[in-house]
Amino acid sequence: MIRQMAPNMALDQRVAERQAAGEFIVHLGFGEARLPVFEPLVQRLAAGAGRNGYGSVAGDLAARSALAGYFTRRRLPTDPGQVIIGPGSKALLFGLQVVLPGDIVLPAPCWNTYPPQARLAGKSVIPVPIPAEYGGVPDPESLDDALRAARRAGRDPRILLLSLPDNPTGTVAEPEAVRRLCEIASRENLWIISDEIYRDMLHSPLTEFLSPAELLPERTVVTTGLSKNLALGGWRIGGVRFPCGNHGSRLRDDLVAVASETWSALAQPMQEVAAYAFAEPPEIREYMAAGARLHGAVAGAVHRLTVAAGATCRPPTGGFYIYPDFEPVRAELALRGVTDSASLQHELLESHGVAVLGGHHQGDDPAALRFRAATSLLYGSTDEERAESLAAPDPLALPHIKGVLAALEERLAGLIPRR
Amino acid sequence: MIRQMAPNMALDQRVAERQAAGEFIVHLGFGEARLPVFEPLVQRLAAGAGRNGYGSVAGDLAARSALAGYFTRRRLPTDPGQVIIGPGSKALLFGLQVVLPGDIVLPAPCWNTYPPQARLAGKSVIPVPIPAEYGGVPDPESLDDALRAARRAGRDPRILLLSLPDNPTGTVAEPEAVRRLCEIASRENLWIISDEIYRDMLHSPLTEFLSPAELLPERTVVTTGLSKNLALGGWRIGGVRFPCGNHGSRLRDDLVAVASETWSALAQPMQEVAAYAFAEPPEIREYMAAGARLHGAVAGAVHRLTVAAGATCRPPTGGFYIYPDFEPVRAELALRGVTDSASLQHELLESHGVAVLGGHHQGDDPAALRFRAATSLLYGSTDEERAESLAAPDPLALPHIKGVLAALEERLAGLIPRR
């Protein structure tokens, strides 16, 4: 059983209440792409409003065909029969944990929702630390040892979950690491779940992206959604791609069974949106590219601020997060009573008005001085400002972004007493 | 684990495929209120389209306030803090089974989704037959014995699920039965889940409705939704009301925790719809009343046809189902090789083009000759015809309804050889 609301969602609700009460909080605590809804999506939703039948559990053929095309354009040739559309990739990831047997290997730190989903599905979690260079994947060096130790302890690791690019570190694993992990997964007969919801948000077109589904197609399940790349978190549209062949199709049928008894189907008007968006007409591709540019620029700026404040931090390469480590200033922070990630999160919010999600919420060592900063809520306080941010060739030059970054800089400086 | 798609949804998809291929099937196999979307709901959906943030897990205050008002108008005074809005009552019912401890008592027969949800939640099901007069509730006479027997067998019954009015029988339990069940639940410390999604569809204003939440407010959780009363199955909007007080609020928090890790929240544009619809302005009440009238008229007509064909059947009083029993013509059916509900369902579909859901799919004795007939798909083959059905003072006089009922009469006559 789980007894607590997801800490990111709980934090967001608390911050929203305090902001509504007039407090100025630099909100880095929630991974929502806060951008205006792209107008053609509104039109598709309205166009789908007449559809009130329950529809197909796996999703309409039009939506599934579009999603199959989305994957096919990403070097993953896909038939519409290989995919399921659902109400958000969170629900699909939960369903996958229910239908895939065995225990699950998670990178540490990782998105705060994977471990409670594992608990709900009756699984043990085998955490394996991420490498120094990027997150979202266990360090390949450590994975073999961790699997052996888990088996000695009576666990049954059968699933390896990767997030590419990663929440919480905002980085994408190098192809070589993905290759080595796939070799281990193949040898150890692990299923891979590859959470690729941030895939369309690489900051540089030069960054190489390799999906494990390219290397281990028969054992890799890929999840995605429109919450991040199209800023549609509140519309709850996700998708999953199964391997072709018998194993994949059995797994797909199992997930359809769970879906039919839990969420039925993605709402029909949203299927209309999915059919349009996953087909990626030019205007959608432009919107996605503009988003990726903006996320990269602001994540990069926040990265520089935390490093300037004394942290070490992996440079962000995808998505809209950074994951700084304030270990270098542990002594100074101790003077404030800050000795671990919980007290760091608390001090930042209560004394400095900066909301972040401590590493302890994300499977990291609670004694470490690490947190996730989501940089995607800094694009303005009105839809107009946010639209301007999205359109700007240099968003860091915009007064409203400059302003919030200056406030953050000042607040971080206030956190660390002068050395 | 569950390995099969919900049989009602699987049947609906198969029928839809065959209908698309040109076959004329009298489709009584799926509980969808097939009526056009009410136009003001389309407007609310479009009005909510700008909302792309994740929002509150429990639901917006506006939507929760409306839902609280909905319950309050039904003799269940409710605070917005007592309710959760979610993506369909199916997901909410699943979440309730996850958070409520112990095993679950279900009426037999019951909606085909309750038992697999119990299995997914790791629960045992204790089935108790329904009385002769109506379904949705265990026979109070049998409940005590069943509880004792279950405990002797090492089970831990802690939850009693009632459906008022009922799917699959289309009947509503008499207040006296609800009273007696609540007495037992109180004495035995059972939680009650009262699934009231068909509540606004009583066929006669004279039918008395008593919610267990009126009698056992501190131990009853009520679920509802807009799928049936507003024909919005494909929009996936549901709600749940918890008891006030500590027990209720702890349970609510537990469900919010599960929601936050599985479905996040109802899609934001749908929250706008919920806020409007649950507030029940006059036009919504009229639409609901028109729907209830139509459902009652057609369910009554199908009831008469099955009785004329030789079945016994509880007269329907709410919702859009009937649940005939062809035991009186067992000998005649045996001549067709029909000896149980599976062969009855198969014979009706394959030899007579009538889709129904056999009782064996709904927790009933597989040897019985019973099935559920959903009568809500008979309102026409176009939105125009369906709108006409909804508006008609005497829908049975409409040619398109007359026609399908005549086809059904003929096909049922073909099933039972002349005596």
Residue A1 lies in a domain: no
Residue with tokens 């599960």: B258
Q: Single out the residue of A165, A232, A202, A395 nearest to residue A298, CA to CA.
A: A395
Higher pLDDT, A171 or B9: A171
Domain end position, chosen among A279, A299, A328: A279
How do B220-225 and B191-195 pair as beta strands? parallel
Shortest Cα–Cα distance, B127 to chain A (Å): 19
**How many other CB atoms sit within 10 Å of the CB of residue B353?**
18
For residue A151, what are the domain limits? Answer: 50-279
Judged by a CB distance cut-off of 8 A, whether residue A263 touches chain B is: yes
User: What distance in Å separates the CA atoms of residue B247 and residue B186, rounded to the nearest whole number?
Assistant: 14
Cα–Cα distance, A77 to B379 (Å, whole number): 42
- Mark yes or no for CB contact A42/B37 under 8 Å: no
Distance (Å) of CA B177 to CA A418, B86, B202, B211: 74, 30, 17, 11
State the nearest Cα–Cα gap between A6 and chain B, in angstroms. Answer: 6
User: In this structure, are A181 and A201 located in the same domain?
Assistant: yes
Taking CB atoms and an 8 Å cutoff, what residues of chain B touch A113?
A: 261
- Rounded Cα distance between A271 and A275, Å, is 6
Interchain pair A267, B32: CB under 8 A: no
Residue B144's pLDDT is 96
Spatial separation of the C-alpha atoms in residues A272 and A91, rounded to whole Å: 19
Beta strands A103-108 and A157-163 are: parallel
In this structure, is residue A38 part of a structural domain?
Answer: no
Query: Which of B9, B261, B266 lies nearest to residue A6, judging by beta carbons?
Result: B261
Distance CA B197, CA B227 (A): 8
3-state SS, one letter per residue, for A22-57: CCCCEECCCCCCCCCCCHHHHHHHHHCCCCCCCCCC
ipTM: 0.96
* Chain B interface test: which of A54, A90, A235 (most B C-beta within 10 Å): A54
- Pairwise CB contact (< 8 Å): B1 & A234: no
Residues B289 and B269 in one domain: no
Ordered per-residue pLDDT tens for chain B, 419 residues: 777 889 998 899 889 989 999 999 999 999 999 999 999 999 999 999 999 999 999 999 999 999 999 999 999 999 999 999 999 999 999 999 999 999 999 999 999 999 999 999 999 999 999 999 999 999 999 999 999 999 999 999 999 999 999 999 999 999 999 999 999 999 999 999 999 999 999 999 999 999 999 999 999 999 999 999 999 999 999 999 999 999 999 999 999 999 999 999 999 999 999 999 999 999 999 999 999 999 999 999 999 999 999 999 999 999 999 999 999 999 999 999 999 999 999 999 999 999 999 999 999 999 999 999 999 999 999 999 999 999 999 999 999 999 999 999 999 999 987 65
Spatial neighbors of A331 by CB under 8 A, at least 6 apart, are: none
CATH of residue A17's domain is 3.90.1150.10
Which of B280, B296, B319 corresponds to the end of one domain? B280
Q: Is B37 within a domain?
A: no
Mean pLDDT over all residues of chain A? 96
Q: Is B278 helix (H, G, I), strand (E, B) or coil?
A: coil
Substitution target from B1, B264, B376 for chain A, most A beta carbons within 10 A: B264
A58 min Cα distance to partner chain B (Å) = 10
The alpha carbon of residue B141 is apart from the nearest alpha carbon of chain A, in Å, by 31
Identify whether B39 is part of a domain. no
What number of CA atoms fall less than 13 Å from residue A7's CA on the CB side? Answer: 20
Nearest-neighbour CA in chain B from A334: distance (Å): 33
Residue A4 has pLDDT above 90, yes or no: no
- B82: tokens are 């007592």
CB contact under 8 A, B42 and A55: no
Chain B positions in Cβ-Cβ contact with residue A258 (cut-off 8 Å): 2, 120
Distance between CA atoms of residues B354 and B341, nearest Å = 14
- Mark yes or no for CB contact A113/B36 under 8 Å: no
The CA distances from residue B19 to B25, B355, B377, in Å, are: 7, 11, 13
Kindly determine whether residue B261 and residue A90, on different chains, have CB atoms separated by under 8 Å.
Answer: yes
DSSP 3-state of A375: coil
CB within 8 Å: A120 and B98:
yes
Is residue A39 a part of any domain in this protein? no
- Asked if residue B410 belongs to a domain, the reply is yes
Residue A186, min C-alpha distance to chain B (Å):
25
User: Do B288 and B228 reside in the same domain of the chain?
Assistant: no
Residue where a domain stops, chosen among A279, A311, A341: A279
Q: A213 and A362 share a domain? A: no
Q: Do A88 and B55 touch (CB under 8 A)?
A: no
In this structure, the dihedral spanned by the alpha carbons of residues B210, B211, B217 and B223, taken in order and rounded to 10 degrees, is -170
Which pLDDT value is given to residue B168? 98
CA distance A259 to A256: 5
pLDDT above 70 (res A418) = no
**Shared domain check, A384 and A271:** no
Question: Contact B120/A9, CB-based, under 8 Å?
Answer: no
Instruction: Tell which phi-psi region holds residue A366, choosing left (phi > 0), alpha (psi between -120 and 50) or beta.
Output: alpha
Dihedral sign (CA A137, A139, A144, A147): negative
Torsion of CA A383, A385, A388, A389, to 10 degrees: -100
Strand partners, B224: B239
A344 shares contact with chain B (CB less than 8 Å):
no
Give the pLDDT confidence score for residue B416 in this predicted structure: 87
CATH label of the domain that carries residue B194 = 3.40.640.10
Number of domains chain A is built from:
2
| pLDDT exceeds cutoff 70 at A419 | no
Angle at A91 between CA A90 and CA A96, to 5 degrees: 95
A122 shares a domain with A248 = yes
Instruction: Say yes or no: A99 and A217 in one domain.
Output: yes
List CB contacts of A219: < 8 A, sequence separation 6 or more. Answer: A185, A186, A189, A190, A191, A192, A243, A247
B268 chain-A contacts, CB cut-off 8 A: 234-235
Contact assessment for residue A34 and residue A404, using Cβ atoms and an 8 Å cutoff: no
Q: Is B393 on the interface with A (CB under 8 A)?
A: no
d(CA A160, CA A128): 10
User: Is B121 touching A (CB cutoff 8 A)?
Assistant: no
Cα dihedral across residues A236, B37, B5, A279: positive or negative = negative
- Percentage, residues of chain A above pLDDT 70: 99
Residues 33-92 of A with CB under 8 A from B: 34-37, 41-42, 45-46, 49-57, 87-88, 90-91
Query: Are B196 and B328 part of one and the same domain?
Result: no
Q: Are residues A130 and A248 in the same domain?
A: yes
On whether residue B46 sits in a domain, the answer given is: no
pLDDT at A100: 98
Region A293-302 average pLDDT: 98
Q: Are residues A305 and A339 in the same domain?
A: yes
Chain B residues close to A236, C-beta within 8 Å: 87, 263-267
For residue A417, is pLDDT > 90? no
Comparing B2 with A414, the larger pLDDT belongs to A414
Phi then psi dihedrals of residue B150, to 5 deg: -65, -40
Any CB–CB contact under 8 A between B14 and chain A?
A: no
Are A367 and A396 members of one domain? Answer: yes
Q: Which of A127, A90, A158 is nearest to A363 (CA)?
A: A127
Residue B96, both tokens: 């309730």
Using the beta-carbon criterion (under 8 Å), do A52 and B235 form an inter-chain contact? Answer: yes
According to DSSP, the β-strands at B238-241 and B191-195 are unpaired
Residue type, B24: F
**Do B239 and B386 have their domain in common?**
no
b/e code A185-218 from CB counts within 10 Å (16+ = b): beebebbbbbbbbbbbbbbeeeeebbbbbbbbee
Q: Does residue B174 fall inside a structural domain?
A: yes
pLDDT, one tens digit per residue, over A26-53 is: 999 999 999 999 999 999 999 999 999 9
